Amino acid sequence: MRKKYSRAIGLATVLSLAFSLTACGGNNAVNNGNGTKTEETGAANAGQKIKIKIYAQHFDDDTSKPFDYAVEELKKEMPEVEIVLDEAVQDGYQKLKTFAATGNMPDIYETDWTTLQTFAKSKNVELLDDHAATADFKAKLNTGNESRLIAPDGHIYAFPYTGIEFQLLFYNKEIFAKAGITEPIKTIDQLVEASQKIKAAGFTPLSIFAKEKWITSALYSGFATREDTKGFGPLETKGMSELTEPYLTAAKQIKTLEEAGLFDINATNTNYDQASSQFYQGKSAMFINGQWEIFSSTEKLGDKVDWMYWPAKDEATYENTKMYMNGAGAPGGFAVSPSSKNVDKAVEVASFIAQKYAEYKYTQLGSPIVATKVDKPMTGEVPAMMKRIATEVLPNVKGYANGLSSVQIKNALDDNTQNILVKGFSVEQFTDNMNRVLNKENK
């Protein structure tokens, strides 16, 4: 999940259905009576293709082109398979949870670690550990990406196509120059000062699609990782019942920036389309997204756009921690529903699609952040910002933030980091809400 909503769904309906997910979801595969699962072929008649339905992101060049490439490659490798695409909605996987709650899961779906944990409990995700396609995938995994494939519980639930991704602050160099801002911004105080200069020059300082809660958590993680290079990981330490100083400092920094006018007053009602449009049209000076944003921003803004490291409380902290990246290697990617009529084939297809998706991102988009090895050369033009990633960041990374496994702490962070962008929601409220959850979950 990361870019835009393509349609809305009723939240109340979704929540109601999600509560019944455990009861309603499950495995519809045929049981032969001795406990061994067998498969309906889905191709009852000779010559009939096996239809595999995939719920996947497919709404811009960064998502549609790799997927389409993978499907075309699949036609050569598995001509007996017909892919039926169901375009994913950018809604925090709520629609996918509705599918699970109503027993209407696609054969393959794209999702994240938080959702996979829920689906593992409700038996809506196929355990991939012992499938032959998984062994093949593991053999091709790029070193350092183990955490993207193997979950903290030791199981494999999905095939990733990216390596460990991270969030960046993008900025419009032309607006910075008009506002008289000296690059790079290294401290929170400098970011406050820049906000005031940008507003005085007639621009929105920073656009953020805070209607999606994950991006506000990413924002908070950016500042928290400057204070504790392990990011959110320590928040689920047993016995940790209250936010420690690094997380209190990060919360205070966001509030300071909110009060300084860094964010638009309607930030929490702004979706990806609206926020990115502001940035692409030169109405806002900065924008937050993952490094995958490089391709879209380069297309829209050319050499006007660049990215910066996350600011810190002072320049010494900035220099010491800037190579600890705001991103975690949590499991995720293409998972398979155990209710598929063709589970084994779906697993093969999911593995293949993930590998070819990675192949396109590497060869055509020049992204070195892919999960599996690619034996083909880069042929596409690599954006300047991605070249910075490849030559300046990746060889010098000191570490990545640790991911969260606790769904409850993750949900609390999503809710409260979104709220803290709202005028009148205090740091004390943020702290009290988080401490209540930490005290309960970390006993």
pLDDT attached to residue 46: 58
CATH 3.40.190.10 placement within the chain: 50-164+330-374, 167-326+402-442
Among the listed residues 188, 193, 215, the one whose alpha carbon sits nearest the alpha carbon of residue 205: 193
Res 2 pLDDT > 80 = no
pLDDT of residue 328: 86
| pLDDT score of 21 | 37
> pLDDT over 90 for what percent of the chain?
81
pLDDT of the residue at 276: 96
pLDDT at residue 6 greater than cutoff 70: no
Reported confidence tier of residue 10, pLDDT bands at 50, 70, 90:
very low
Per-residue pLDDT tens for 212-221? Answer: 999 999 999 9
Q: What is the pLDDT of residue 45?
A: 54
Q: What percent of the chain has pLDDT over 70?
A: 90
CATH 3.40.50.1390 fits 167-326+402-442, yes or no: no
**Model confidence pLDDT, tens digit, residues 332-370:** 999 999 999 999 999 999 999 999 999 999 999 889 999
Q: Are 165 and 332 spatial neighbours (Cβ–Cβ below 8 Å)?
A: no
Would you state the pLDDT for residue 418?
A: 97
Q: Is 24 exposed, middle or buried (0-12, 13-18, 19+ CB in 10 A)?
A: middle
- Topology (CATH) of 50-164+330-374: D-Maltodextrin-Binding Protein; domain 2 (3.40.190)
Q: Binning pLDDT at 50, 70 and 90, where does residue 245 land?
A: very high
Give the per-residue pLDDT at 89: 87
pLDDT at 11 over 50: no
Average pLDDT over the chain, rounded to an integer: 89
Please, which pLDDT band fits residue 22 given cuts at 50, 70 and 90?
very low
> In the predicted model, is pLDDT for residue 429 greater than 90?
yes
Q: How confident is the model at residue 135 (pLDDT cuts 50, 70, 90)?
A: very high
What pLDDT is attached to residue 28?
A: 39
User: What is the C-alpha end-to-end distance of the chain, expressed in Å?
Assistant: 31
Res 113: pLDDT:
92
